[in-house]
Chain A
Amino acid sequence: MKRYRVCVLGGGPAGLAAAASAADENASVLIVEREKKLGGILKQCIHDGFGLIHFKERLTGPEYAERYIKDMIQKDVDYITSSFVTDVKKLSDGGFELELQTQEGMEKVESDTIVLACGCRERTSRQVFVHGDRPAGIYTAGTAQYFVNIMGYMPTKKCVIIGSGDIGMIMARRLTLEGAQVEGVYEIKDAPAGLDRNVAQCLDDYNIPLHLSTTVTQVFGNKRVEAVEVCQVDKKFNPIKETARIIECDSLILSVGLLPENEIADKLGIEIDNATKGPLVDQTFMTNVPGVFSCGNALHVNDLVDYVSENASLTGKYAAIYQPSNRTLVKINYSNKDFLYVVPQYYDSSKGGELNLYFRAQKEVRNHKVAFLINDEVELDKTYKRMLPSEMEAVKIKTEKTVEHAALRMGGPQK
């Protein structure tokens, strides 16, 4: 049985970058990808806007992914597609045995470390509360994107979109360009979930109305969606009955958020953060299970793929150089009044080293100070012109100190 140093689960941008940087540390690497091709979700994201930070270019999803695939192929990395992990066992020597379902059948490999890079999945109609029938014609925005951009099949002639996530808005434009009518985008909150830029270039450009504080309350149709009922909501998100209106359409498209994919993390008994829905990790992106790492959208949902690549490339390196040792985990404190989440959640003071911290503000704030404290002393402070829950922030903290307490704090508005 072949033994690898690092086994990467998932061949999206996170898995590709993790594998490449692990190979740079002279580790033997295997990527296991469930789909037929490497590249992850970017294969279907044909719109542009990727790589602005990393390549200083406005690339489309496939272009971005292919740069990483070409880079990875140059290196001595093994990969296997159309395959997934069915079981993982911990070995007595600290490594892992992975059972793979490949096209040829079952196969087993061993690895010293595992990098979980399985990406995220979309919330579905089961996770949003809509009354009525469950006929055909209810898709997530990602599924609609797969149909149109990969299969070349138009799933709708006239649709309603529920939720104003970026993927939903991007699909509103895409479906319109291909000749469908997007009746409107309905968002239960009083502000769009996705970027303002996408409201402008995907909705406003094509005169697609965005209805805020409004949601879909009912779906009608026997075999296929025939109509939906939409309703404005009050401050507590309760539908205001008098505002109900029926819209005829053949499809309802959901763009109501993403969740990290944790099937394998669950199998390994990995602890999950309630705020991110991804694993709890330390500054090396190692989970509570020694030797198992997590990166990309499997760790927390990123809004820009550039950050995914950067984070994954660090993770791959840490997985390659990992040596078992005792851990002294110090929790990174923050108030959930100020921040939605902070990743990593722990700093292992036995390991030390730099800390790459990702965080999101709980609500929109302008001219606020953010400080990072170690042992109650300020290590870094920075004033942000504007922070939004939809935009992740990243900072790097370098310290020589023995960390006993760590905290991220938000100060009040600055002059």
Chain B
Amino acid sequence: MTKEMTCIVCPNGCLMRVEQNGDDIQVFDALCKRGLEFAKNELINPTRSITSTVATAFPDYPLLSVKTDGELPKDKIFQAMELINKIVVKDRIKVGDVILSDVFGTNIVATSDMTLNAGEKRVDN
């Protein structure tokens, strides 16, 4: 079986020709080795990482951006979103802090730092 597949591992986005004969998978037109690895996963168990936002209890910081720290099966994405949308963060947390663990084999972690003051004003006159 031959099919076309776009590798999504890096911005090059190689359009690959993938040939599968049982367990034997070959890849053509990939610019690097990671293309083959991606194609194998894609045919056997496609996975994705997701990014989203969660609600917080803080009016000055109502929404916190999050991501999965690994990948989860592609067909579990919407179930994971349901879990993410139920979260309300009650502590001021930092980048990388785990908010919800073991979501289909991955963790939901913060991608923004609620303790970082990235604004207001600082001018030493």
Contact = CB atoms under 8 A, between A and B. Distances in A.
Interface of A: 2, 30, 33, 35-39, 46-49, 52, 58-60, 62-63, 65-66, 69-70, 78-82, 102-103, 148-152, 177-178, 195-201, 204-205, 303-304, 385, 391
B74 A205 contact: yes
B51 A46 contact: yes
Contact of A60 (B62, B65, B124): B65
A103 B121 contact: yes
B55 A152 contact: yes
A48 B10 CA distance: 11
Contacts of B49: 48, 58
A65 B13 CA distance: 24
B125 interface: yes
B122 to A, nearest CB: 6
Contacts of B67: 46, 48, 60
Interface in B1-47: 6-8, 10-13, 15, 31
A62 to B, nearest CB: 4
Interface residues of B, number: 37
B101 to A, nearest CB: 19
Contact of B48 (A69, A79, A102, A201): A201
A153 to B, nearest CB: 10
The 7 closest A-B pairs by CB, nearest first: A197-B13, A37-B119, A200-B6, A196-B13, A46-B65, A62-B112, A60-B111
B120 A81 contact: yes
B123 to A, nearest CB: 5
22 contacts: A37-B119, A38-B119, A48-B49, A49-B11, A59-B111, A66-B112, A78-B122, A78-B123, A79-B121, A80-B123, A82-B121, A103-B121, A150-B63, A152-B55, A177-B50, A177-B52, A178-B81, A195-B13, A197-B6, A197-B11, A198-B13, A385-B31
Contacts of A204: 6
Nearest to B15: A196
B13 A62 contact: no
Contacts of B62: 151-152
Interface string B68-89: 0000001001100100000000
B8 A66 contact: no
Contacts of B12: 197
Contacts of A78: 122-124
Given A66-B113, A197-B7, A197-B13, 18 more contacts: A38-B118, A38-B119, A39-B118, A59-B111, A60-B65, A62-B95, A63-B95, A63-B112, A79-B123, A80-B121, A81-B121, A148-B53, A150-B63, A152-B53, A196-B13, A200-B8, A205-B74, A304-B11
